[in-house]
Chain A
Amino acid sequence: MSNRVVITGMGVAAPNAVGLQEFEMAIRIGKSGISFFEELRKLNFSCQVGGKPGISQDILDDYFTPLQQRGLLSSGIIYGVSAGTEAWNDAGLEKAPAEAPDWDTGIIFGTGILGVDKFREAIHLIDAGKTRRLGSTSVIQTMASGISAYLGGILGCGNLVTTNSSACTTGTEAVIMGFERIQAGKAKRMLVGSCGDHGPYVWGGFDAMRILPGNYNDKPKLASRPMSATAAGFVPGSGAGALLLEDYESAVSRGARIYAEVLGGEINSGGQRGGGSMTAANDEAVQKCIKNAVINAKISSAEIDVINGHLTATTRDAVEIESWVKALGREKENFPYINSLKGMTGHCLSASGSIECVASVLQLHQGFVFGNVNCEDLHQDITNLITPRSVPIKTIEHPVNILAKASFGFGDVNAVVIFKNA
């Protein structure tokens, strides 16, 4: 007997919008969150465009006390606490009282690297012999689990409170891990999600690998081009997404609004074998991950209405489509709708999976398929596999019953989750 798991709250801090309502509007109209950064030009970056959520002082005041704002330099914590607290409030939950935590609620909130700007500040002080000037906030803002620790304390969670990390798979992996914990009866609610820092010290390594586009610095909104023939690499982004997963009985008994059900998922690795490497996916592993997710969700692949892909805007996009075609046994006009959020947000790295899960669930709940941005010139390797009809470039109003969401990451790791309309 395993428990059913539903989504009762969501929050998001994405480059193109902060807050759930603004985000839904943004993805419906294809709003770009990519801009040019003078800082990156001065630092001689090849790619001088990126995606950062716009966090106003009002938003900071909503989610952080004045004391927490002192010396707050970890952008990942700012995004993660904003999104995580929004999801909590959106689910209609109250913070635990001062005396005792909520023992039935836990957190799995991942990140790739946390508090890079805070760490830089610490490095400068330490190198100047002023270690004692670091104060109390250096550790908590730079430990990887800083994000789950902040959220756990603000909300008062007494179940598992941890941070997972699996590169660009992180957010989707967190959803599946939280789902499994509730399914197993070990928690009633799990706040799951992920965040990612912004800025040159996070993005520089990718620039050095020459996998970011350098030819769109004067037209940033066109830079991120998933599935396009003129895709030139992924645009780095940042932010956070959060989902409040809840045991179905618990959600019903407290009269919570249910956005969607998590039917199941799969997490695996290609082991950096069989064509897989530190930076490239083993295609057999990707296909196994998709197939097992379908099996675990107890659906047939024909039932999938929409795929929200990983699709980062590199030459690997066509390979991903091919894996979907093979794993689902659906091609040409038989292929479901597919979209990628990254045309609007760039690739938000460790935050991408959770931000895109929020976008996926919004589509299910509101009945639309958001249009793909910057892929009017669909790559020929893709049109050889599926029809352009499957890749809408304008948002279409269309009921969505079942959606498959995939994320893949460095280290040859994969995650696929299946959501169903509630």
Chain B
Amino acid sequence: MQDKEILERLKKIVTPYTQEKSGLEGFNQSTDFIKDLQINSANLVDVVLDVEDEFNIEIDNDSMDGMLKVEDAINIIKSKRAES
């Protein structure tokens, strides 16, 4: 799966949780989930669950802790998909 496709699917997932909608306009690898999108930290666990469902993977707590920016998420998704 191409990074671009993962990026698009990620954007769709985070949209309902995003409080700073302007952060979605320039949604790219360096977008920070909390700083740029103002996603409530409690909602990050929901984002992770949605990502799991979307990509049919399981994200452990350690991986989740490292998921601060879009590029982190893409790397985690790619490595988990490679494992399975």
Contact = CB atoms under 8 A, between A and B. Distances in A.
A42 interface: no
Contacts of B43: 67, 136
Contacts of A67: 16-17, 43
B16 A70 contact: yes
B50 to A, nearest CB: 9
Contacts of B16: 66-67, 70
A133 interface: yes
Contacts of A135: 45-46, 49
B42 interface: yes
Contacts, number: 15
Judged by DSSP, the binding face of B is helix
A72 B11 CA distance: 23
A133 B42 CA distance: 14
Interface residues of B, number: 7
Interface string A62-87: 00001100100000000000000000
A316 B80 CA distance: 64
A70 B46 contact: yes
Interface string B51-84: 0000000000000000000000000000000000
B17 A133 contact: no
Nearest to A133: B49
A133 B45 CA distance: 9
B78 to A, nearest CB: 21
Nearest to A69: B16
Contacts of A70: 16, 46
Contacts of A66: 16
B67 to A, nearest CB: 15
A191 to B, nearest CB: 23
Interface string A174-193: 00000000000000000000
Interface string A119-133: 000000000000001
A137 B45 CA distance: 10
Instruction: Give the most central of A66, A70, A135: most B CB within 10 Å.
Output: A135
Nearest to B44: A136
B58 to A, nearest CB: 9
A136 B42 CA distance: 6
The 4 closest A-B pairs by CB, nearest first: A136-B42, A67-B16, A135-B46, A136-B45
15 contacts: A66-B16, A67-B16, A67-B17, A67-B43, A70-B16, A70-B46, A133-B49, A135-B45, A135-B46, A135-B49, A136-B42, A136-B43, A136-B45, A136-B46, A137-B46
Interface of B: 16-17, 42-43, 45-46, 49
Given A70-B16, A70-B46, A135-B46, 12 more contacts: A66-B16, A67-B16, A67-B17, A67-B43, A133-B49, A135-B45, A135-B49, A136-B42, A136-B43, A136-B45, A136-B46, A137-B46
